[in-house]
Amino acid sequence: MNRFTLHAPGHPPFLLGRERAELVLGRAPGVDILLQDAAISRRHARFAWQEDGVWMEDLGSRHGSFRNGARVKAPVRVEPGDRITLGPLELRLEPAAPAALEETSLALEDVRLWAGAQDGPLNWREALELLHELSLMMLRDLEPARLLGDLLDRLFTFLGASRGAVLLKDAGGALVPLAVRAQDPDSPLGLPNSTLEATLSRRAARLFREPAVPDGLLAESRTASAMAVPLEFDGRTLGLFYFDSTRGRGPFTELDLRFVASLSNLAAAKLLQQTLAAELRDREERERELRAREAQAQARSEFLARMSHEIRTPMNAVLGFTRLARAEALPPRAEDCLRKIEFSGRSLMAVVDEVLDFSKMEAGKVALEALPFRVQDVLAGIRDLFSQAAREKGLALEVASA
């Protein structure tokens, strides 16, 4: 997956990729990259990541946006190495480092930024401790709900947030709360679900601060700022983290957002690794069960084949001697007895063949065959098989066809 970093004067590199597909630059509060220069318009330019690369768009700035000296009048694709200027400021686009290493280094970089920032709201030592705790949590095989709940607790305290939540996507794609933390248990989240779902669909962490948020979304809930950070790794989105703050605490900063996004990506990577491992275990278990069933079927087929062989061998001898005896001149009663013996033997051989057919059916090798027969012969055979047993019980057995 192609990812890039955008470098602006006085700022750390900003990631452009699936996890953050858009950056707006300007002097207005609430933009992604705040540029303190009189020649920069309030909303000066936008950089958007797409599958085919990064595109730059001028947002009607007074002093213009330029690529390689040419003023940008419509969205234009920019490449690493292009000379990009917004008014007098020069920017730089570079390929990003591989994802797994970059997310960890991004978190460490944010900690260093907190340590040197004059307005950093949080203690950088606490950030290091939190990063260390998450590293230990990643080494343990925690249940997803436990991992996300523990991380929510630590981030909620770390940020000094008023409300925090982990929301996961259900089978229909809707966001469902997994865990919620709040100083006031009865207070709702500062942003409606529609806004959170829109953030999730954009696959980019977003920071909402007054007065930049439209339609009074935050004003109604007395919230000074809110952030929504997708739980995403390698293009797969699981849900998001949400935090908001009251006016007493002050608004979240860009550094807050970047740090939470870094930890969120690490947690998502761990959850996806656990999911893939569970899927692999399930597949191996299904394969073991299939092999066991196949072994059982094979053993049954071999047993039936051996059993039929053991029955066929003596039965063939019985039938052979019966045919030899019938070839001699015998009294009618003896001839009738031999005929019944031969018929019974052949019936038993047919049963053995049918038993073998079960193993053939399991292998899909049984072919149905239609053969003509006389009903009278079948009924006569049934009479011969059971007439002697009926006589021994003093019964008369009569068989007739309609």
Mean pLDDT of 153-169: 88
> Residue 295 has what pLDDT?
86
The distance of Cα 4 from the centroid of its chain, to the nearest Å, equals 26
Residue 66, CB half-sphere, CA atoms under 13 Å: how many? 15
Backbone phi and psi for residue 248, each to the nearest 5 degrees, phi listed first: -65, -35
What band does 104 get if pLDDT is binned at 50, 70 and 90? very low
- Whole-number Å distance between alpha carbons of 306 and 310: 6
Q: Residue 23 pLDDT > 90, yes or no?
A: yes
Site of tokens 């991992």: 147
* Confidence tier at 109 by pLDDT (50, 70, 90): low
Higher pLDDT, 87 or 142: 87
Q: How far is residue 344 from each of residues 180, 296, 380, measured CA to CA in Å?
A: 79, 32, 12
Q: Which residue has the higher pLDDT, 370 or 173?
A: 370
**Considering the chain, what percentage of its residues have pLDDT values greater than 90?**
16
Three-state secondary-structure class, residue 122: coil
Listed residue (151, 180, 172, 169) closest to 270, CA to CA: 151
Distance CA(209)–CA(27), nearest Å, equals 14
pLDDT of residue 213: 46
Cβ–Cβ under 8 Å, residues 97 and 122: no
Short-list 353, 354, 398, CA closest to 380: 398
Asked whether the predicted pLDDT for residue 72 surpasses 60, the reply is yes
- Alpha-carbon distance of 84 to 104, in angstroms, equals 28
Instruction: Tell me what pLDDT residue 63 has.
Output: 92
Percent of the chain surpassing pLDDT 70: 84
Task: Assign 100 a pLDDT band (cuts: 50, 70, 90).
Answer: very low
User: What was the pLDDT predicted at 214?
Assistant: 45
pLDDT, tens only, 308-351: 778 878 888 888 888 888 888 888 888 888 888 888 888 888 88
Of 39-48, 62-71, 206-215, 270-279, the least confident: 206-215
Of 256, 241, 274, 246, the C-alpha closest to 151 is 241
SS3 7: strand
HSE toward the beta carbon, residue 47, CA cutoff 13 A:
30
- Rounded to whole angstroms, the Cα distance separating 140 from 133 reads 11
- Across the range 208-220, mean pLDDT stands at 53
Question: Distance between CA atoms of 63 and 69, rounded to whole angstroms?
Answer: 13
For residue 102, pLDDT beyond 90:
no
For residues 300 and 69, the model is more confident at 69
Buried b (16+ CB within 10 A) or exposed e, 348-369: ebeebeeebeebeeeeeeeeee
Q: What is the mean pLDDT of the chain?
A: 80
Confidence of residue 78 (pLDDT cuts 50, 70, 90): very high
Domains and CATH numbers, the chain: 1-96 (2.60.200.20), 287-366 (1.10.287), 370-402 (no CATH)
Residues 295-310: what's their mean pLDDT?
80
**Residue 250 confidence (pLDDT) above 80:** no
Q: In this predicted structure, which of 146-160, 183-197, 388-402 has the lowest mean pLDDT?
A: 183-197
| Residue 363, φ and ψ in degrees, nearest 5 | -90, 0
Q: How confident is the model at residue 105 (pLDDT cuts 50, 70, 90)?
A: very low
- The reply to whether the predicted model has a pTM over 0.85 is no
CB-based contact 47:22 (threshold 8 Å) = yes
Higher pLDDT, 383 or 84: 84
For residue 138, the Cα-to-chain-centroid distance in whole angstroms is: 19
Cα 340 to Cα 350, 385, 390, distances in angstroms:
15, 7, 15
Residue 115's CB is within 10 A of a number of other CB atoms, namely 13
Q: What pLDDT, on the 0 to 100 scale, is given for residue 97?
A: 58
- Amino acid sitting at position 297: A
Query: What sign for the dihedral angle of Cα 26, 28, 33, 38?
Result: positive
